[in-house]
Structure 1
């Protein structure tokens, strides 16, 4: 266990995470109203270098990051030291959550870009459910196979794009670095099996991964305009389902 200290600074939301932060801000406000507490208990499973954990701690919440990578936790410590807030860091896998943390002790659990890589997604989600108090919320962010097929086809990898659509795990082949991807329907089913009531699904990085970086670097205000576009499209019934990632909440 490491005590991590992090700096009070509010930054402009990055293009790729702006939609997620919009949802999380609403969740935090709702949980604080419901619990009557300004300081929520948050667990970031697989939180890595603290991209979400540090800003959440900066908002005054008690944040614990669990990650299997010592290097990621070391980077978290450095980021924490720069930001001058505290984050608790624990080394472990999703399967270890029940041993590392008490049951019914969290108001919010983040499960971002984790389900693609865990050995058993159902067990991982069930373990995360056990960490939450009644009425607690899980935030799930996962790779979408439809977007992967679109991106492979744009790159001229037509056979691989077709393979993604046909493969139960949404993979384009043995060399695919992502072990599995999730559609909106499969995420909602997984949440239900783990005992959650699924909430609204949002698309993340609908356009961001298609826009050349030179357009953002060379045009004043382009990044802000792209963020606004992503926010406007996040809940669109068609565009949402072709996003690079899908974001869904589950309530216990």
Structure 2
């Protein structure tokens, strides 16, 4: 994986900490799309972003020259996506449709995409395995799945460091990884659970990365006020992302899968 910078998809984020939460995933995704394009012998891929919302990934992917379809249940998010794509000059390459991953084929066709992004979706669906199967069914032969989901270990560590020890223990032992009734995230995963889901859907499991290993724990003042701190923290995140020991305490987990030809 190439070393991330503070620039995301050719744009400098308005908030430095935003780049900390996306840089590792973006670098992995960009490399995967480049690899897929070369293998397919094309410069333009068809990319599906399930739950893509306002286009945090869709718009930068479109700026690479690819066609992106965003499926999201929120009409407000899709309106913001349309405006964002227009402001970025990629409106003709971004299409938003209302729907969700369980009803995916009510709004898009099967087997029509070179890559599918499933970021921040599995935490909120009733049946994660069914959601993954739909994402895989949307892929063309040898297509790429980019899966990003909340990590169990990161939540346990965060609650413990905040002094909420009972909640940390609850998250550690709860089948869904929830720390209590007020927990806004319905489900969290370990790296093993995500790779089992990907493999169980018939994909070859590729790279696994821990995301937001340190970004959510480091005080914002340190990053915002110390010269060079943002770049140094970005490099630290990148260095730790591929190490299983740090994946186990990451706030999010990213898994790449490839559909067998």
TM-score range, shorter chain: over 0.9
SS in 1 for 2:96: strand
1:76 counterpart = 2:94: no
Show CA shifts across 1:175-208 (max 9, x none): 2111100101100111122221211210001111
Residue aligning to 2:137: 130
Could you tell me which of 99, 106, 123 is aligned with 2:106?
99
Q: Which moves more between the two structures, 109-118 or 190-199?
A: 190-199
Residue aligning to 1:27: 32
1:179-194 equivalences under 5 Å are 179-194=186-201
Residue aligning to 1:3: none
Show CA shifts across 1:138-195 (max 9, x none): 0001111111011111111111100111111111112211110010110011112222
Could you tell me which of 214, 220, 224 is aligned with 1:217?
224
Residue aligning to 2:171: 164
Aligned counterparts of 1:240 and 1:175: Cα–Cα separation in 2: 25
TM-score (normalised: structure 2)? 0.91
Which portions of structure 1, spanning 4 or more consecutive aligned residues, are displaced by more than 3 angstroms? none
Q: Which moves more between the two structures, 108-117 or 222-231?
A: 222-231
1:1-252 equivalences under 5 Å are 10-12=10-12, 14-86=19-91, 87-252=94-259
Aligned counterparts of 1:208 and 1:56: Cα–Cα separation in 2: 23
Tell me, which stretches of 5 or more residues in structure 2 are unaligned? 1-8, 14-18
Asked whether the 8 Å contact 2:191–2:247 carries over to 1, the reply is no
Over aligned residue pairs, what C-alpha RMSD do you find?
1.2
Tell me, which stretches of 5 or more residues in structure 1 are unaligned? 1-8
SS in 2 for 1:17: helix
Asked whether the 8 Å contact 1:98–1:130 carries over to 2, the reply is no
Shift of 1:220: 2.0
SS in 2 for 1:95: coil
